[in-house]
Amino acid sequence: MKLTVFNGSPRGKGSNTKTILEHFLNGFMTTGGNTYEVVYLVHIKDSDNFIKLFEEAEQVLLAFPLYIDAMPALVKTFIESLEPLCGRKSNPDIGFIVQSGFPEPIHSRYVERYLKKLAVRLGCRYKGTVIKGGVEVIRATPNWMNKGLFKSFFKLGKTFGTTGEFNAQIMRQLLKPEKLSKWHFRFFKLTGDKFYWDKLLKKNNAFEKRFTKPYIK
């Protein structure tokens, strides 16, 4: 099986999306004869080539982080660039991986509905959307703490490599917990927002602007 993978993170090769995909693809490659190509959508100057690669693909996997309850702008731009291919008979099958900072997959449910509809409109067979929350933590913690997550993506890739489908049981395991308990939520707000994200905002000189709404006149 030949898989064309689009990584939609603005962080490109330094992204959590890449880390997760690496484990998925290691599993995928355990089946002899499988091949893959990874395309980084952040390399916008190659965007004409993205459409060509999609057009020629047998199977497509589009993986991206959740940004503001949706997708990064470069993913939306890519999707819109596919419009000329809508309804083409030979469009590839398509599956998605959406990973987010908040641990609750419920945040990704709207984009999941969008992606399902997108596949139908493109005329691609929809293979499903793998959703995983709480992924930012992998860059702030040592690898051994994320062994379970990496193993799940390896197994997901391995079964995908043999069946061409996402394994429903592994997908369900990745979804847990759909919603945090009240206490777990408070703990997450404190450690995630106060210590991690605020520090990142300050490091990037963006802390003071964090509630800015440039779209409101």
Ligand X SMILES: Cc1cc2nc3c(=O)[nH]c(=O)nc-3n(C[C@H](O)[C@H](O)[C@H](O)COP(=O)(O)O)c2cc1C
Residues at the interface with ligand X (CB under 6 A): 9, 11, 15-17, 65-69, 99-102, 107, 135-136
Closest residue to ligand X, based on beta-carbon distance = 101
> How near is the Cβ of 88 to ligand X at its closest, in Å?
29
Closer of 52 and 186 to ligand X (Cβ): 186
> How near is the Cβ of 70 to ligand X at its closest, in Å?
8
DSSP 3-state of 50: helix
Burial state string for 54-66 with b = 16 or more CB within 10 A and e = fewer than 16: beebebbbbbbbb
45 DSSP assignment: G
The enclosing H or E element of 129 equals: strand 126-132
Closer of 19 and 91 to ligand X (Cβ): 19
> How near is the Cβ of 100 to ligand X at its closest, in Å?
3
Which parts of the chain fold into alpha helices (H)? 16-28, 47-56, 73-81, 109-122, 147-163, 168-175, 182-188, 198-203
Closer of 54 and 136 to ligand X (Cβ): 136
Closer of 91 and 146 to ligand X (Cβ): 146
Identify the residue whose tokens are 């469009």.
Answer: 91
> How near is the Cβ of 67 to ligand X at its closest, in Å?
4
